Each structure stands twice: as structure tokens, then as C-alpha cells.
Chains A and B, each alone.
Chain A
Amino acid sequence: MPHTTTMATMLELTDVDTYYGASHILQGLSLKVGAGEAVALLGRNGAGKTTTMRSVLGLTPPKRGSILMDGTEIARAKTHRIARQGVAFVASGRRVFGGLTVAQNLELAARTLGKRAAADGRTLEDVLTVFPKLRELADRRAGFLSGGEQQMLKLARALLGNPRLLLLDEPTEGLSPAVVSDLGRWLDRLREQGLSILLTEQNALFALAHVDRGYVMLKGRITHEASAEELRSSEEVRAALGVG
């Protein structure tokens, strides 16, 4: 993958300040994701990784700063408008619609954002080819799926919107090693297809194996930025993340 300086920018946060009530969480945070680039956002518990994604999505809008999505300012936009700009989010935890069936979860995604897609967009059929297990589970209530199956459903649902940028929050959380390696393969395939990806992980070694570049954050600020390779070998970073 080429370095950021030569590629177009998909997402750019500049001096973002985000609060939960009175607590100042993101403190002048800046970061970039290039078009077609996969980037990891690493940091210990409570560093502000999820808050960064929630800021991009307008779920916890920033008080100050700019967020450009492919050149368009989205820092103060409504969440559904940001989604329509091509930003998809796979949240951590069991965020499927448990009362709906797997098929209804997927249909809903396809009918909401799928129709936005160009003629060459991903269809329900394409997604079911990538995740054949979901076809078997189609009539099951999503609330009854295992953690790995829910992760698959959340990813499939996000892809059905034909996003240009995919935000993944702790995708390996609670998955068995076999499912984690499946996930790694899917991520690599999405990168080959040119999707821009921003990924947070407790499992830094997993993340750094599937991205081009990474940021390390601490208390709402970026403390390091480097290629995945450099981050993997940096003692300082390993210490900051508490790995190795």
C-alpha cells in the first residue's frame, strides 16, 4: 500500500474536541485515513478510541474541530446523513436487532442504504456469498446467534450499505481464535477491494497484521503515528499498549 502523502484522503479529523457532559474526552485529536488505506487506532482502555468513532458518526458530536469525509465537512451532521455519505460502523458488542430475523436485519440494511449503491454495488446475494453461514441462519432471530455469528451479521449489514469508509470497533472481542482468523481474511479481502478502514483493537498484534498504518492514543490525544511494521517492532509502543 502506498503511503498517505501520495494518496487521496478519505477521512480527516483536525483538532477534534469531544465531551461527555463536562468530561473532556477527545483533546485536540487529529488523524487521517487515506482512500483505500487501512488504519489501526490503538490505546489502552478508556483512551478514547470508541469516542473517536462516535464523533465521526455524529453519535457524540464534537464540540470543536473539523471532520472531513472525502472532502465534505460532517462534524455537525446528523448520523443518518453521515451514513449516507458512505461511512459504515461495526460497533462492539451485541448490536444486532435481536427481535428481527437475520434475513430482516440484512434486508433492512439493503433497503436503507443499499439502494444508494451504484450498479456495481454489493448486493444481498454478494454478501451471502461471502458469509454463507448467514444464509443458513436467515430465519433465526438475530438475538439467538452466537457472538461470532453476530459479528458476521454486523459486518454483512455494514457492507450492504456499500460504504467507502468502514469503522470497526474491537471486532475480535469475544471471538474464538478460528473466527478471529476468518475475520482477518475478510479484512484483507476488503482492503484489496479498495475499502478505507479504521479499526480499533485491544488485540494490537491482530490489528497491526491487517493494516497499513496505525495511531496510538492516550487520554484523548494521539501519541504515536507510524507504519504497521514500525509499530509492531517499537518497544516504546509495546510499552504504551501494554503488550509484549
Chain B
Amino acid sequence: MNTFVTETVSILTNAAMLFVVAAGLTLVFGALRLINMAHGSLFMVGALTVASLASGLTGGWGFAVALIAAVGLCAALGAGIEISILRRLHDREPLAQLLATFALVLVAADLAQRVWGTSDRTVATPVAGRFSVGGAVVPEYDLIVIGIAAAVALGLWLLLARTATGWRVRAAVEDPETLSVGGTNLALLRTSVFALGAGLAGLAGAAIAPLESVGPGLDTQIIVAAFIVTVVGGLGSVVGAALGAVVIATVEGLGTLWVPSYASSAGYLVMILVLAVRPWGLFGTPDR
């Protein structure tokens, strides 16, 4: 019973983080048909921002401020990147965009080393409390992380399904000309969506900072994980990202318990399996 609760919470915490990262990646792909390789770099910037603010901003509220700062910084960086680089490539072939975002990965990795150095940092858990559930002891911070992911899921669902902005995002993929003829500022819409995706990457990075060591290499590590999740769930689908995150976190969690030496490849195996059976992912659509 003990280990069951502990394992479940740890799997859900992992799934929560994977979902927030993947949601940003899939949202940007869904709205802009752009695969943002630099999504992991924005995640790393979010984590490093919190790491460098953590010494000054301590405790729960201090951490909340650092987290908001990280999200704001990443969203602003995202807007800047979209306006200065990606916008010009929007009507070009997908390869040009992919290469541009890959170039950004390299630039960001180099800049991050200059600003934050090459050593790993640790961030103290902002809330040290623990809950006792069914005989197991669960860290309060894990529940906060799960809560953040649930809020992101609900917020994105409301945005996309219920607001005019969400309909615009869907319409912009289907027929951008008709949307702009109807009075929508397409450039502003695209910048906003990209900034939102970047902000989500920053949020995930900031939230994960107290759970893992933060340093160079985090960018590539997380972009690979986010791709596995989005490919399994279906590129462009937020619901798919949620399901993909739960599937991958579960497989990795159980793998670590049962076959520790193969656990790290479990995610890839699931991805290969899904691609073989349903190449467009669990919730994706076959046409793209």
C-alpha cells in the first residue's frame, strides 16, 4: 500500500511536468505548424532563472515570485524570437523553421553557459511539508506540481474550446487568409501563441527546478522527453499531450521498479510501438 501510493504520486508528478512541457510544444505545433526545437532551451532558461533567484527569494511566496518571473521571461523571449526570426520563415518550407529553431538551441546553450556557468545547481524545496496518505508520506511540493499541471490543462481547454481566441487559433491553421479578411491580426495571434508556448516551457522548467539538478544539458534532455510525449499523444493535440504524459510517466515509473536497467529506454519503446500502429499518435489527426 505504502509503495503503491508513493509510486503513484511520483508517477503523477512526472506526468504533470511532462504534460506542461509537451502542452507548450504541441500548442505551438497545432497553431503554427512549427516544430520548436528550442522549446527545451526555454525550459532550461525557466529552471535556471528560478535557480538564480532562489537564494534571494526563499519560502513558498518567494518561490512563487521566482516562478512568475521565469514564466514572464520565457514568454517575452518567445515573443522576441517569433517576431525577429520565426515570423519571417512562416511561409517557407518547414525545414527552414526547424533549422532556425535548432540554431536557437545552440545559441541558447552557449548564452546560458555564459550567464549561468557550467556547474549544476540545486534549488531547495520551497515548501517542505509532507502529507500522510494511506500510510505513505507524500511531499507537499509534488501535489503543488500536480495542481499546476491540472490548472494548465483546464486553462488550455477553456481557452481553446470556449473563447474566440481559441477558435481563432483553430481557424488560423485551417484558413489564415479568411481569418485575416475577417479582421483578425494574424501576426499578433501567432506571436501570442508562441509566447504562450514559451511561457509554458518556462513554467515547467521553473516548477521542476526544486526536484532535479539544474544545469547545462537540461535543454536536450527535456526536448527529447517532450517529443516522445507529443508523438505518442499526437502532435497538435493538447488532450493527447496529457494522455501521452501519463502513459510515458507510468511506463518509466514501472520500468524503474521492475526492470531498472531498461527503464531509460521504456519511453522510446512506447513511442516506436505507437508510431507503428498509429503513426499520427493517440489523439492526432492522420492528415499531417
Contact = CB atoms under 8 A, between A and B. Distances in A.
B177 A109 contact: no
A80 B186 contact: yes
B185 interface: yes
Tell me the dominant secondary structure on chain B's binding face: helix
B180 A83 contact: yes
A86 to B, nearest CB: 10
Contact of A83 (B174, B175, B183): B183
Contacts of B115: none
Contacts of A100: 167, 170-171
B164 A97 contact: no
Given A59-B177, A95-B175, A99-B174, A107 B164 contact: yes
Nearest to B181: A89
A80 B164 CA distance: 16
B190 interface: no
Given A91-B178, A108-B164, A112-B164, A97 B170 contact: yes
B187 to A, nearest CB: 8
Given A97-B170, A97-B171, A113 B178 contact: no
Interface in A77-134: 78-80, 83-84, 88-89, 91, 95, 97-100, 104, 107-109, 111-113, 116
B239 to A, nearest CB: 15
B182 interface: yes
Given A99-B170, A100-B170, A109 B182 contact: yes
A43 interface: no
Contacts of A112: 164, 168, 182-184
Contacts of B179: 97
Contacts of B174: 97-99
Among B164, B177, B180, B183, the most chain A Cβ lie within 10 Å of the Cβ of B183
A116 B184 CA distance: 13
Nearest to B187: A78
B164 A91 contact: no
A197 interface: no
Contact of B181 (A83, A99, A111): A83
B182 A113 contact: yes
B182 A59 contact: no
Among A89, A97, A161, the most chain B Cβ lie within 10 Å of the Cβ of A97
B83 to A, nearest CB: 15
A164 interface: no
Interface in A144-174: 157, 161
Contacts of B168: 108, 112
Contacts of A95: 175, 178
Contact of B182 (A83, A98, A99, A104): A83
Given A59-B180, A88-B181, A100-B171, 12 more contacts: A57-B181, A79-B177, A79-B186, A80-B186, A89-B181, A91-B178, A97-B179, A99-B170, A99-B171, A108-B168, A108-B171, A109-B182
Interface of B: 164, 167-168, 170-171, 174-175, 177-186
25 contacts: A59-B180, A78-B185, A79-B180, A80-B184, A80-B186, A83-B182, A88-B181, A91-B177, A91-B178, A91-B181, A97-B167, A97-B170, A97-B171, A97-B174, A99-B170, A99-B171, A100-B167, A107-B167, A108-B164, A108-B167, A108-B168, A108-B182, A111-B164, A112-B168, A113-B183
